[in-house]
Amino acid sequence: LTCERYGLRRLPFARLGPGDAAFFEGLMPGRACSDPEELKSFNVDWLKSVRGCSELLLKPKTAAEVSQILRYCHERNLAVSPQGGNTGLVGGSVPVFDEIILSTALMNQIISFDPVSGILVCQAGCILGKLNEYLEERGFIMPLDLGAKGSCHIGGNVATNAGGLRLLRYGSLRGTVLGLEVVLADGTVLDCLASLRKDNTGYDLKQLFIGSEGTLGVITAVSILCPQKPKAVNLAFLGCQDFSRVQETFTTCRAMLGEILSAFEFMDEKCMELVEKHLGLSNPLRGCPFYVLIETSGSNSSHDEEKLNSFLEQAMTSGLVTDGTVAVDDKKIKTLWSLRERITEALTRDGCVYKYDISLPVGKLYDIVTDMRARLGQSAKNVVGYGHLGDGNLHLNITAESYSHSLLDAIEPYVYEWTARYNGSISAEHGLGFKKKQFIQYSKPTEAVFLMQRFKAMLDPKGILNPYKTLPSSP
């Protein structure tokens, strides 16, 4: 479907032959799968919006195996699509045609953890939530958290430069990832798996692979700096009457909560309706057009509670917030977080989802939602806005009963033009993948795209790594 829409042609890569199957079976017995049934779920993305037709799934266990796979594919001119937990939202993790799927599912070993520095070194296929559990047992946490934590792999997180719910506090992976081991397209193993906070010896090559979406190399191991597990966590779930009050709540809480603020998320009432309707969750507040989740993480519970309470008093008396509830115990905290984290899931149950992930000045963040609602009228089922307000990141989502070209044409490129007008980013955290690569020019100048293409050509001269993704096809 998508190939048809974008008028895409399969590039002249080699096709798999019996000799190839024999080579991979010899290299990794029992881990080179060509069973169409098993391949099904690896060929379809999480949103079930794009589907490839790969006939071979490889599950290496080591960087050495990844190196042998890529060296062979490079020589044979076979295209490869790297895949982690397959939770990506831009169609980047599944093949477009018959690319070989290289899954990191079996690369799930923790290599080391240093409780003094908080530095974790692990293989790329470790599941984010599992890593977090491992660290919590040792008094630490992962510096990132996503609704997809139960399935996504740390390698996939790095490959997409995932943001998520903790970025406001711990910063992006560009700061917390200290080192990477990457296998290049020709099989070369690039060992930049440093565990140093400071290292200014030449260009910082790992940055090139963070956010490269499987197009420049396969990440096989990650060294990452992890913060201490906070001793005290509080969560406030609040209702606001309009978006300007949401914004003002943010500036007030930043001023009053300072160093203990660890998340500021928002969602509109339509999101709440959907999590209630499709997932049976219950909204503890009623009748507010907007809701915010404010998390504090600190080391002294009475100090943090005192700060949070004086902020809440100020927010209520000044009319910024009309209703609210606070959680300190783990169970209630999880329940409140799920109202925000499970919006993505609720949307998929609402119908066909058109997903946009944009960075905008916070003052403009919600205008595109209102504008889009008016523009689409009855042709959309629901138009909702939620996201990481503290990071200036809006998730604009539109649902419809079924996929329609005309609805898509009403949304795109309008949404991208709108974003570019305010110097925003058309992909704040999900990447460009397959679905958004042709729109890169709305956020990057021609010279930058050209330089990216030169990097790609240098690192992957035959273009075998995740073809048709991230960079626009040449005219």
The residue ranges that bind ligand MLT (CB under 6 A) are: 147, 343-344, 357, 387, 395
Pairing outcome for strands 177-183 and 189-192: antiparallel
Give residue number: closest CB to ligand FAD. 156
Q: Residue 148 or 308: which CB sits closer to ligand FAD?
A: 148
CB of 218 to ligand MLT, least distance (A): 24
CB of 437 to ligand MLT, least distance (A): 18
As a whole number of angstroms, the distance between CA 420 and CA 441 comes to 9
- Hey, what amino acid is at 181? E
From the list ligand MLT, ligand FAD, none, pick the one residue 86 interacts with, judged by a Cβ distance below 5 to 8 Å according to partner type.
Answer: ligand FAD
CB of 41 to ligand FAD, least distance (A): 12
From the list ligand MLT, ligand FAD, none, pick the one residue 218 interacts with, judged by a Cβ distance below 5 to 8 Å according to partner type.
Answer: ligand FAD
From the list ligand FAD, ligand MLT, none, pick the one residue 157 interacts with, judged by a Cβ distance below 5 to 8 Å according to partner type.
Answer: ligand FAD
Q: Residue 344 or 470: which CB sits closer to ligand MLT?
A: 344
Could you tell me if 180 and 206 are in contact, meaning their C-beta atoms sit under 8 angstroms apart? yes
From the list ligand FAD, ligand MLT, none, pick the one residue 118 interacts with, judged by a Cβ distance below 5 to 8 Å according to partner type.
Answer: none
CB of 296 to ligand MLT, least distance (A): 20
CB of 202 to ligand FAD, least distance (A): 22
Q: Residue 93 or 297: which CB sits closer to ligand FAD?
A: 93
Q: Residue 70 or 343: which CB sits closer to ligand MLT?
A: 343
Q: Residue 124 or 271: which CB sits closer to ligand MLT?
A: 271
CB of 374 to ligand FAD, least distance (A): 28
- 414 to each of 154, 379, 421, how far by Cα in Å? 34, 16, 11
Could you tell me if 16 and 78 are in contact, meaning their C-beta atoms sit under 8 angstroms apart? yes
Q: Residue 43 or 344: which CB sits closer to ligand MLT?
A: 344
Binding positions for ligand FAD, rule: CB under 6 A: 46, 81-89, 92-93, 104, 124, 146-148, 152-153, 155-157, 159-160, 162-164, 213-214, 218-219, 344, 429-430, 433, 466, 469
Q: Residue 69 or 353: which CB sits closer to ligand MLT?
A: 353
CB of 454 to ligand MLT, least distance (A): 30
Kindly tell me the burial class for residue 60, based on how many C-beta atoms sit within 10 Å of its own C-beta (0-12, 13-18, 19 or more). Answer: buried
- 62 to each of 67, 74, 109, 181, 288, how far by Cα in Å? 9, 18, 10, 11, 51
Count how many Cα atoms sit within 13 Å of the Cα of residue 267 in the half-sphere of its side chain. 23
From the list ligand MLT, ligand FAD, none, pick the one residue 395 interacts with, judged by a Cβ distance below 5 to 8 Å according to partner type.
Answer: ligand MLT
Q: Residue 297 or 344: which CB sits closer to ligand FAD?
A: 344
Structure tokens at 36: 């169409």
From the list ligand FAD, ligand MLT, none, pick the one residue 124 interacts with, judged by a Cβ distance below 5 to 8 Å according to partner type.
Answer: ligand FAD
Q: Residue 55 or 391: which CB sits closer to ligand MLT?
A: 391
From the list ligand MLT, ligand FAD, none, pick the one residue 176 interacts with, judged by a Cβ distance below 5 to 8 Å according to partner type.
Answer: none
From the list ligand FAD, ligand MLT, none, pick the one residue 93 interacts with, judged by a Cβ distance below 5 to 8 Å according to partner type.
Answer: ligand FAD
